[in-house]
Amino acid sequence: MGTANIYVDRVTKYYGRVRALDNVSLSIEEGQIFGIFGPNGAGKSTLFRTISGLTRPNYGEVFVRGAPVSLNYTRVRRHVSQLLELPEVYDYMTLWEYLRFFARMGKVEPRLIDGLVWDWIMNIGMIDQAHQPIRGFSIGQRQRMEIARAFLTNAKIVLLDEPFIALDIAITERLHRYFDDWVREGRLIVITSHNLDAALKFVDEFAILSRGRVVDRVSMTDQHEVLITVRTDDAAGTAVTLEGIENVVIQSVGATDVKVQCGQETVPEMVKRLVEDGAVIYEVREENLIEALYRRALKNARRR
């Protein structure tokens, strides 16, 4: 992976008294699909608006390919493609006209435009709708249309806010292939989702946003990591034993339980060592690390 394509530097954003983003720092490198996951109201859409320059943070700055967004609005808009809110202004256009219009705006070479537009109409599975006006499209169809538009404008960075709402599985899987090819050419796709299951298989890395803060950052190379909860009568002693095992990271020590993070393959060794040390174990519970982190973010959000 290359340089930081997006660098969010201590960004805080208020809407009146609502703090939508709270001192967020995040750097996202090119050449990957990056996820921003979090429950509704976490600040995902606001973060996208600050990255694409549609809204100004109260504090902090976002840098897109090294350029501060607040000083380089036009330049940033050229690099960054974001799904528009449903674009009523274009309602009278057909899908074909709409995509051609944006391909021209996106400075696609004129002789390539028609071919590319047709490719994308096919990619999003909307050949039957090509000459229908956008006006009658469902939310799912509009979302597909906007994904095509994002790619046709030749942007280096594509921000997709909740693309999985109303997208069916077949289309989603097809798009995944294009996303992968596309980022391998050194571009960056950032996807937000409130639904971890839908988005997880798409991303290489992701951040979890909760109540306007980045609470975790996880790489998919961690996907075989587990969170183990050991319930015991001697939490302190158990923590000492576990801490001595290679690749085991202690997460917390409570009155009657110890939580550790480790690779799945380490679990038998852990159990063996605890038994050898004569620990009294009531329960060993295993959870997938990524799911456990996300559940924790959801729980914190509810406590708001």
Binding site for Mg ion (CB under 5 A): 44-45
111 vs 165: CA distance, rounded Å = 34
Contact 24, 215 (CB under 8 A): no
Q: At its nearest, how many Å lie between Mg ion and the CB of residue 50?
A: 13
Binding partner of residue 292 among Mg ion, ligand ADP, none, CB cut-off 5 to 8 Å per kind: none
Q: From the list 2, 18, 91, 236, which residue makes contact with ligand ADP (rule: CB under 6 A)?
A: 18
Does the protein bind ligand ADP through residue 40 (CB under 6 A)? Answer: yes
Q: At its nearest, how many Å lie between ligand ADP and the CB of residue 47?
A: 7
| Footprint of ligand ADP on 202-241 (CB under 6 A) | none
- For Mg ion, the closer CB: 71 or 165: 165
- For ligand ADP, the closer CB: 43 or 106: 43
Binding partner of residue 46 among Mg ion, ligand ADP, none, CB cut-off 5 to 8 Å per kind: ligand ADP
Binding partner of residue 42 among Mg ion, ligand ADP, none, CB cut-off 5 to 8 Å per kind: ligand ADP
Does the protein bind ligand ADP through residue 301 (CB under 6 A)? Answer: no
Total residues contacting ligand ADP by CB under 6 A comes to: 11
Does the protein bind ligand ADP through residue 43 (CB under 6 A)? Answer: yes
Q: At its nearest, how many Å lie between Mg ion and the CB of residue 26?
A: 16
Q: At its nearest, how many Å lie between ligand ADP and the CB of residue 178?
A: 24
Does the protein bind ligand ADP through residue 167 (CB under 6 A)? Answer: no
- For ligand ADP, the closer CB: 45 or 241: 45
- Positions that interact with ligand ADP (CB under 6 A): 15, 18, 20, 38, 40-46
